[in-house]
A and B are shown apart, each in its own frame.
Chain A
Amino acid sequence: GAGVSQSPSNKVTEKGKDVELRCDPISGHTALYWYRQSLGQGLEFLIYFQGNSAPDKSGLPSDRFSAERTGGSVSTLTIQRTQQEDSAVYLCASSSLTGTRNHGYTFGSGTRLTVV
């Protein structure tokens, strides 16, 4: 697509439920990244995909968080047994293999997750 698309844009869930957040990167971008941004805070790196593999998942905060990417395209971030501290904006970004240095990342608009 023309840009990075994330869905849903807003999600309200009850504590303890599982949620899935989706990211559609720019077509042809092999690198995909997930970040978390809590209210008024900076960016917290979660995971990096190159193709379908995740060489860096050092930022996943607990084993309740997992992510996968299929077909070198769409990625899903899953949070199991959600807690109130998981409330945040989840941002996805993508880049081409050779474009990161010159163009940085292209971000989606994010999914605002609220756990009640």
Chain B
Amino acid sequence: GNSVTQMEGPVTLSEEAFLTINCTYTATGYPSLFWYVQYPGEGLQLLLKATKADDKGSNKGFEATYRKETTSFHLEKGSVQVSDSAVYFCALSDRDGGYQKVTFGTGTKLQVIP
């Protein structure tokens, strides 16, 4: 089956620091890739996506590039803010087990301190 591996957290950064959260995947087909964000006490929200190789997804200053050759979709932001403190989930969508499903990584908690 498909799988997503993302870096362990928590990640603690000072405000305005550069952020990278690594994500790699294993899929049998040609998946779409996503980053979701979960703010404290809330459900998951789609942050950005890329549906084919070399696509770059971007939103709210975050970006990630779909790298088929390295099966990666690393999340980056040039200057984090305290309000970015949340849990970030990498995910892929592909046919698995007979239907189109989304497979999630385990999540990486980001804490940004002033």
Which of A42, A50, A104, A107 meets B99, CB within 8 Å?
A50
Interface of A, secondary structure class, is: mixed
How many residues on the A side are at the interface (Cβ–Cβ under 8 A)?
A: 23
How many residues on the B side are at the interface (Cβ–Cβ under 8 A)?
A: 25
**What 1/0 flags go to B72-114 for Cβ under 8 Å of A?**
0000000000000000010101100111111011110100000
A102 touches B99 (CB 8 A): no
27 A-B contacts (beta carbon < 8 Å) = A42-B104, A42-B105, A43-B89, A43-B104, A55-B98, A56-B98, A56-B99, A56-B101, A91-B44, A93-B44, A95-B102, A100-B100, A100-B101, A100-B102, A101-B93, A101-B100, A102-B51, A103-B46, A104-B46, A104-B93, A105-B102, A107-B36, A107-B44, A107-B45, A109-B42, A109-B43, A110-B43
**What 1/0 flags go to A21-54 for Cβ under 8 Å of B?**
0000000000000000000111100001010000
B49 touches A103 (CB 8 A): yes
